[in-house]
């Protein structure tokens, strides 16, 4: 597929709030489960295209800590789908030189899903291509609270002075330690909120929202988001440099 934006104008790290699976299914008179199943196909499409374009990292919001409020039947299906996806996609991940990581709390996740997550992370750890980070049972506020507890414990044990606490130090205590912050945050299905996703890390991310529901999100929508990103001036709180006369 033709895509002519220079590599240096592309984001290093893309984060995606994959929204609209249930809406997509409802519009077609299908059960919500079918929307989630269709959404898994979009994950592969977007992952493959990011790998082809040389994107360094793709972080996908798969299951938020707030999603536990959903009906038990839907949650059971989502977790089973996750487990099956990890098993079925493992050979594809390894063949494409993709490295998988995941962030979020282990507590509450079923043993089967944890086993397959850990196994995919282990088998792909040496891969050097696109890093796909799955946010599962994840919440940005909970992540920050956990990081602060780690820092507080280090201070309590006398291993860290309070005045030594800095932004980089706290970043190193987050689930995303060692990852670059997202340059571009994409949200599908038209919702204009960040939904407790990577709250610390997206401080300077460019936002791109589309009305397209996640199961219909494909290479064309990804390219549109990347073209919008490439056309923006990223100032990080500063001013544009004056043009040379």
- What positions carry a catalytic annotation? 19, 67
Residue 227 has phi, psi (to 5 degrees) of -65, -40
Residue 158's Cβ-side half-sphere holds a number of Cα atoms within 13 Å equal to 0
DSSP reduced 3-state for 16: strand
Q: Where are the beta strands (DSSP E) in 163-244?
A: 184-187, 206-209
Q: For residue 135, which of 58, 233, 24 has the smallest C-alpha distance?
A: 58
Q: Determine the Cα–Cα distance for residues 30 and 87; give it in Å rounded to an integer.
A: 26
Residues 203, 187, 18, 48, CA torsion sign = negative
Residue 191 has phi, psi (to 5 degrees) of -75, 135
Q: Determine the Cα–Cα distance for residues 134 and 108; give it in Å rounded to an integer.
A: 16
Strands of the sheet containing 13-17, edge to edge, are 99-103, 131-138, 57-64, 13-17, 184-187, 206-209
- The helix-helix angle for 219-230 and 32-53 (nearest 10°) equals 50
């Amino acid at each position: 597929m033709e895509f002519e934006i220079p590599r240096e104008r592309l984001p290093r790290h893309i984060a995606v709030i994959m929204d609209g699976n249930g809406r997509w299914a409802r519009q077609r008179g299908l059960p919500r489960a079918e929307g989630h199943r269709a959404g898994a196909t979009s994950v592969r499409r977007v992952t493959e295209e990011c790998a082809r374009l040389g994107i360094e990292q793709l972080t996908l919001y798969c299951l938020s800590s707030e999603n536990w409020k959903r009906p038990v039947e839907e949650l059971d299906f989502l977790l089973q789908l996750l487990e099956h996806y990890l098993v079925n996609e493992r050979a594809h991940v390894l063949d494409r030189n993709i490295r998988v990581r995941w962030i979020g709390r282990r507590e509450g996740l079923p043993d089967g899903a944890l086993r397959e997550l850990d196994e995919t992370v282990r088998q792909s750890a040496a891969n050097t291509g696109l890093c796909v980070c799955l946010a599962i049972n994840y919440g940005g506020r909970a992540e920050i609270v956990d990081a602060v507890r780690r820092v507080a414990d280090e201070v309590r044990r006398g291993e860290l002075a309070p005045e030594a606490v800095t932004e980089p130090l706290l970043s190193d205590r987050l689930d995303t330690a060692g990852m670059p912050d997202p340059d571009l945050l994409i949200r599908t299905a038209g919702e204009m909120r960040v939904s407790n996703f990577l709250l610390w890390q997206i401080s300077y991310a460019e936002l791109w929202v589309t009305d397209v529901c996640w199961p219909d999100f494909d290479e064309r929508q990804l390219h549109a988001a990347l073209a919008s990103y490439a056309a923006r001036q990223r100032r990080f709180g500063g001013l544009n440099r004056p043009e040379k006369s």
